[in-house]
A and B are shown apart, each in its own frame.
Chain A
Amino acid sequence: MALTIGFILQLVQITVIVVIAPFVLGVTRTMRARLLRRRGPPLLQAYRDLWKLMHKEAVIAYNASWIYRGAPYFVFAATWVAAGLVPTYATGLMFSWTADLIAIVALLGTARFALALAGMDIGTAFGGIGSSREMLIASLAEPAMMLIAFTVALIAGTTQLSAIATIFLTAETGVRVSLGLALLALIVVGVAENARIPVDNPATHLELTMVHEAMILEYSGRHLAMIEAAAAVKLVLYFSLIACLFFPFGLAIGDKTAAAVLFGLVTWIAKMLILAVLLPIAETSVAKMRVFRYPAFLGGAFAAAALAVFLRFVSRGF
């Protein structure tokens, strides 16, 4: 019985994160449009877009290989598995020990690897430019991410997300300078990884500014739908990561009673919505930066995370 409930709870997490992802994306788009004094699309437009794409025929170049056709499914699967392992509404779910923070980040790396290869499969200049820049961004963001993982692991003594969230909720960790710096770094890394302004612009189709969009330029139909869905899930994944590491309030950590689970779900969705509102505010207040300013931007994240680690060494109080 306990096993069944555990399985169902895990299933809920895996399902909810996919179901809610287009909605969260829709909220960011609507919010962004309102900030630009436009009316913006309806909140459920993202679902309709996916539905539309799924029912359009896929146009594939003659020389596309199986990598091009398989990559969208693989990217979606890897992102989805990674998202299913981040604590959203509860910790200690049935499979939460399968991967720790490092492995989740690496799984996203696997998805990125597949997508970058797909970008090079047709043999166009745009695909190449997208893949090349995407890998540059990843190589700048990954060291910062690792130091963030290091900071939280130094405080919690583990890299297991469930355990970290439980410790942050129960033990008196309080407000710490190092955690603040890590949060800052994680936001910057999240912005870069999700191809948001100022690193990339998900709405652009101006050739020279595209990174992520250039990589998937040739995609259409159901393949594009998979990639878009994966991008939405990835955004929710990073939101959930920020929420569970820095704002674990509301997570069901003990017995999974119906009330605790429901409370966890409601607070999680509320946190997602708040972050979905905050992201476009940040995005509309800055301009997209040139490619060769990424190192400074992501280097800032690296510096913040490194400072967080070293502060932890200097004093336990930080």
Chain B
Amino acid sequence: MPDVVSVLYCTAVLFVLAGLGLAARRIPQMTLLVYGGCFAVSLVLVGLSLAVLLRHGAVASVLVLPMGLPGVGANFRLDALSAFFLLVISIGGAAASLYGVGYGHAEHAPLRVLPFYAVFLAAMTLVVLAADAFTFLLAWEFMSLVSWALVVAHHEEPANIRAGYIYLVMASFGTLCLLLALGLLAGASGDYAFAAMRAARPSPTLAAIVALLVLVGAGSKAGIVPLHVWLPLAHPAAPSHVSALLSGVMTKVGIYAFIRIVFDIAGDHSPWSGLIVLAIGGITAVMGVLYALMQHDLKRLLAYHTVENIGIIFIGVGLALAFRANDQTLAAALALTAALFHVLNHALFKSLLFFGAGAVQAATGERDMEKLGGLIHVMPQTAIVFLIGCAAISALPPLNGFVSEWLTFQAILVSPQLPQWSLKFAVPAVGALLALAAALAAACFVKAYGVVFLGRPRTPVAATAHEVDRFSLTAMFALAVLCVFAGILPGFVIDLLSSVTAMLTGATLPKQAGLPWLSIVPLAESRSSYNGLIIFAFLLSAGTLAALVIHRFATRATRRSAIWDCGFPLDSPATQYTSSSFAMPIRRVFGASVFQVIEHVDMPQPGEMRAGHFQVRVRDPAWRFAYGPLARAVTRAAQRLNQLQFLTVRSYLTLVFSALIALLLVVAAWR
């Protein structure tokens, strides 16, 4: 049985599970069954996609089902690119389902989550499987709508309704752009199968327009600045395992759409499109992490941080486009490997962190970091895995986040070979932006971890929290192990990606798994190498050695005492650094240029008995500069057009007649 058929069977099972989920109210065990079933199906999908990726160069055949558009049917295909993204989806899906087994029990409205959850997984699978424009857009829209239903699952809170509304508007706009892009590619002949579009080889101008449209359409799903505004609202609104899927996996489906249409179908591009993608990637990375630093809602911080990672991925994709446009296929393969590696990494650690945030929320009922603290003492296991996630996402060696950033830097260092001067100057600047984003990410996660898990509890709920259930913990530990594994043995992941780069750039990096000591050397001539395994072993042995020497030859005497704090310890946990105070220096340094930070200090006069107040408001400038004016313009236009509803029949007839004449004139002029 071909792989694509097996995958379709799996999605069919997911639909069946969704149907079973409808019975969740009457049969409480359904929750377990649905999540368990989704977990099993996802594991099968992991196996199937891995098998495709390991079978390099196998010809992927198109499966045509007699559904969809007449004459075209529904085309499905599982090639290397689809298989890689299917792997990402199914790893995320498996972990989220396992987490859901434990987490989902507390759900007060399972009917609003369970059916949609299974269908959401199926829809994402169908998007990467689709091989014609109609099926693709249908699956894409299906994915958007189902995820919208999940976002507004807890619709009692007005903020969630608003988030859902904004998400719906952005998703429709994105789909419109994709529709136009695919329509342009289909051309006048109107053949909607991807294979036919690919064979048509669009002209460079057309390819550029398509690339821009897809950048907007797929980018709004992935969350590039300034199309990211829905993301920090919608992702935290959903239940935490769904947030993990939205942030860790669905944004990747947006990346998939971009790579599929721009790289695979639209064919050759001018280096300019690479430059635009690169610049947007760099800006997105830095803006995303700066916004994330300003947040004190843990889940919103994570959602904003997704924007940063999407930027890093787009830097890699943009570099790959630029290199490929100049026929530097090996460098393009390197840049694409870096981007795809980061896709996998981000799916791993962002899911892990959202699970951790969900665990914190389940244990304390709080998402506001200013009300947490000291959780390492009451949730020791969650604290360990969350720490691994934080270190991985901050791009610290020897974990996986560093490897993909290192690969991106290596790709940036090849850029002097590019002939275009604009790119030569832009690429190092983007490299500096990437370094800035990485350093700020570390600051952001020191803040997140330090405020939530370390220090003293700021509220009683934080002091009396309990560790979460073992299913949630297993899911988090599994992802943490994968983060470590991908970090210390990156060669295997790079080799896994070789069939994807071969398909899209025509080149593959040298095989890494056979290199001595399992190092990675992406480009033989640059001799730059990295070995996470040895660094890991060195760290372990150096730390153990230091501890042994100290404990053997120096004193082990330890005394517990009260906090010293320079001689003036204050009992109140409010004297600790908070999330806002931690971010304050960075707010001061970058605030003037990037945010409209409004700090309001209300200090009582001496003798007054009321409490002082300090208020900080940080606004996303995208709202002020892009969406605010846009929304106002739409409202104004709607009000003007409103008059059209109250005309006489005579005026309507005149209107219709003149519109007809105008259209005919346009057609006549066109011909």
Q: Which residue of B lies closest to A150 (CB)?
A: B428
Query: Which residues of chain A from 32 to 47 have any CB-CB distance to chain B below 8 Å in the complex?
Result: none
Query: Which residues of chain B from 437 to 465 have any CB-CB distance to chain A below 8 Å in the complex?
Result: 438-440, 442-443, 445-447, 449-451, 454-456
- Residues in B whose Cβ lies below 8 Å from that of A268: none
Query: Which residues of chain A from 294 to 318 have any CB-CB distance to chain B below 8 Å in the complex?
Result: 295, 302, 306, 309-310, 312-313
Query: Which residues of chain A from 74 to 125 have any CB-CB distance to chain B below 8 Å in the complex?
Result: 74, 76-78, 80-81, 84, 95, 97-100, 102-103, 106-107, 109-110, 112-113, 116-117, 119-125
* Structural contact, B534 and A95, CB atoms closer than 8 A: yes
B400 at the interface (CB under 8 A from A): no
* Structural contact, A158 and B527, CB atoms closer than 8 A: yes
- Expressed in whole angstroms, the Cα–Cα distance for A313 and B429 within the complex equals 13
* Structural contact, A73 and B547, CB atoms closer than 8 A: yes
Give the contacting residue for A109; candidates B396, B424, B436; CB below 8 A: B396
- Expressed in whole angstroms, the Cα–Cα distance for A138 and B563 within the complex equals 27
Give the contacting residue for B535; candidates A107, A112, A123; CB below 8 A: A107
* Structural contact, B554 and A306, CB atoms closer than 8 A: no
Query: Which residues of chain B from 552 to 589 have any CB-CB distance to chain A below 8 Å in the complex?
Result: 553-566, 569-570, 573, 575-577, 581-586, 588-589
Stretch at the interface among B21-29, B207-215, B538-546: B538-546
- Expressed in whole angstroms, the Cα–Cα distance for A100 and B406 within the complex equals 10
- Expressed in whole angstroms, the Cα–Cα distance for A59 and B569 within the complex equals 15
* Structural contact, B576 and A59, CB atoms closer than 8 A: no
* Structural contact, B439 and A143, CB atoms closer than 8 A: yes
* Structural contact, B555 and A125, CB atoms closer than 8 A: no
A129 at the interface (CB under 8 A from B): yes
Given A123-B576, A139-B440, residue A60 in contact with residue B560 (CB < 8 A):
yes
B506 at the interface (CB under 8 A from A): no
A291 at the interface (CB under 8 A from B): yes
Given A138-B442, A158-B528, residue A143 in contact with residue B376 (CB < 8 A):
no
* Structural contact, B374 and A123, CB atoms closer than 8 A: yes
* Structural contact, A106 and B395, CB atoms closer than 8 A: yes
Give the contacting residue for A54; candidates B377, B433, B550, B588; CB below 8 A: B550
* Structural contact, B577 and A128, CB atoms closer than 8 A: yes
* Structural contact, A160 and B432, CB atoms closer than 8 A: no
- Residues in B whose Cβ lies below 8 Å from that of A120: 446, 450-451, 454-455, 577
Say how far B353's CB is from chain A's closest CB, in angstroms: 15
Given A77-B543, A110-B391, A222-B550, residue A143 in contact with residue B435 (CB < 8 A):
yes
* Structural contact, B455 and A122, CB atoms closer than 8 A: yes
Q: Which residue of A lies closest to B394 (CB)?
A: A113
- Residues in B whose Cβ lies below 8 Å from that of A78: 539, 542
B103 at the interface (CB under 8 A from A): no
Given A60-B559, A97-B529, residue A103 in contact with residue B397 (CB < 8 A):
yes
- Expressed in whole angstroms, the Cα–Cα distance for A199 and B573 within the complex equals 30
- Expressed in whole angstroms, the Cα–Cα distance for A29 and B44 within the complex equals 63
B657 at the interface (CB under 8 A from A): no
Given A222-B555, A291-B585, residue A123 in contact with residue B455 (CB < 8 A):
yes
Query: Which residues of chain A from 109 to 167 have any CB-CB distance to chain B below 8 Å in the complex?
Result: 109-110, 112-113, 116-117, 119-129, 131-133, 135-136, 138-143, 145-147, 150, 153-154, 157-160, 163
Given A62-B560, A158-B527, residue A150 in contact with residue B413 (CB < 8 A):
yes
* Structural contact, A62 and B561, CB atoms closer than 8 A: yes
- Expressed in whole angstroms, the Cα–Cα distance for A119 and B406 within the complex equals 28
Q: Mask for B514-539, Cβ within 8 A of A = 1, else 0?
A: 00000100000111111100110011
Say how far A139's CB is from chain B's closest CB, in angstroms: 4
* Structural contact, A61 and B416, CB atoms closer than 8 A: no
- Expressed in whole angstroms, the Cα–Cα distance for A207 and B565 within the complex equals 10
- Expressed in whole angstroms, the Cα–Cα distance for A244 and B584 within the complex equals 37
Q: Which residue of A lies closest to B446 (CB)?
A: A116
Query: Which residues of chain A from 239 to 256 have any CB-CB distance to chain B below 8 Å in the complex?
Result: none
* Structural contact, A59 and B424, CB atoms closer than 8 A: no
Say how far B85's CB is from chain A's closest CB, in angstroms: 28
* Structural contact, B406 and A121, CB atoms closer than 8 A: no
Given A59-B559, A126-B565, A306-B428, residue A135 in contact with residue B576 (CB < 8 A):
no
- Expressed in whole angstroms, the Cα–Cα distance for A146 and B430 within the complex equals 11
Q: Which residue of B lies closest to A129 (CB)?
A: B577
B314 at the interface (CB under 8 A from A): no
Give the contacting residue for A313; candidates B387, B424, B561; CB below 8 A: B424
* Structural contact, A124 and B396, CB atoms closer than 8 A: no
* Structural contact, A58 and B559, CB atoms closer than 8 A: yes
Say how far B546's CB is from chain A's closest CB, in angstroms: 5
- Expressed in whole angstroms, the Cα–Cα distance for A57 and B550 within the complex equals 12
* Structural contact, A60 and B554, CB atoms closer than 8 A: no
Query: Which residues of chain B from 595 to 649 have any CB-CB distance to chain A below 8 Å in the complex?
Result: none
Say how far A293's CB is from chain B's closest CB, in angstroms: 11
Say how far B501's CB is from chain A's closest CB, in angstroms: 21
Q: Which of A139, A291, A292 has the most CB of B within 10 A?
A: A139
* Structural contact, B589 and A117, CB atoms closer than 8 A: no
* Structural contact, A125 and B443, CB atoms closer than 8 A: no
* Structural contact, A139 and B436, CB atoms closer than 8 A: yes
B9 at the interface (CB under 8 A from A): no
* Structural contact, B555 and A126, CB atoms closer than 8 A: no
* Structural contact, B443 and A81, CB atoms closer than 8 A: no
B425 at the interface (CB under 8 A from A): yes
- Residues in A whose Cβ lies below 8 Å from that of B451: 120
Say how far B494's CB is from chain A's closest CB, in angstroms: 16
Q: Which residue of B lies closest to A107 (CB)?
A: B397
* Structural contact, B589 and A222, CB atoms closer than 8 A: no
A9 at the interface (CB under 8 A from B): no
Say how far A159's CB is from chain B's closest CB, in angstroms: 5
Q: Mask for B329-350, Cβ within 8 A of A = 1, else 0?
A: 0000000000000000000000
* Structural contact, A124 and B576, CB atoms closer than 8 A: yes
- Expressed in whole angstroms, the Cα–Cα distance for A63 and B429 within the complex equals 44
B267 at the interface (CB under 8 A from A): no
Query: Which residues of chain A from 262 to 299 have any CB-CB distance to chain B below 8 Å in the complex?
Result: 291-292, 295
Q: Give 25 CB contacts A-B under 8 Å.
A: A54-B555, A56-B557, A59-B560, A60-B561, A61-B563, A77-B538, A77-B539, A112-B442, A117-B449, A123-B454, A124-B565, A128-B581, A132-B581, A132-B585, A138-B442, A139-B440, A159-B413, A159-B528, A160-B527, A207-B566, A217-B564, A218-B564, A226-B546, A306-B432, A310-B428
The 7 closest A-B pairs by CB, nearest first: A128-B577, A123-B455, A120-B450, A54-B554, A146-B435, A57-B557, A135-B443
- Name 16 extra pairs, CB < 8 A, besides A131-B577, A150-B428: A62-B562, A66-B376, A98-B531, A106-B397, A112-B442, A120-B446, A122-B563, A123-B456, A127-B577, A132-B577, A150-B431, A153-B413, A158-B528, A221-B558, A292-B588, A306-B432
Which residues in B have some Cβ–Cβ distance to A below 8 Å?
Answer: 373-374, 376-377, 383, 387, 391, 394-397, 402, 406, 409-410, 412-413, 416, 421, 424-425, 428-429, 431-436, 438-440, 442-443, 445-447, 449-451, 454-456, 519, 525-531, 534-535, 538-540, 542-543, 546-547, 550, 553-566, 569-570, 573, 575-577, 581-586, 588-589
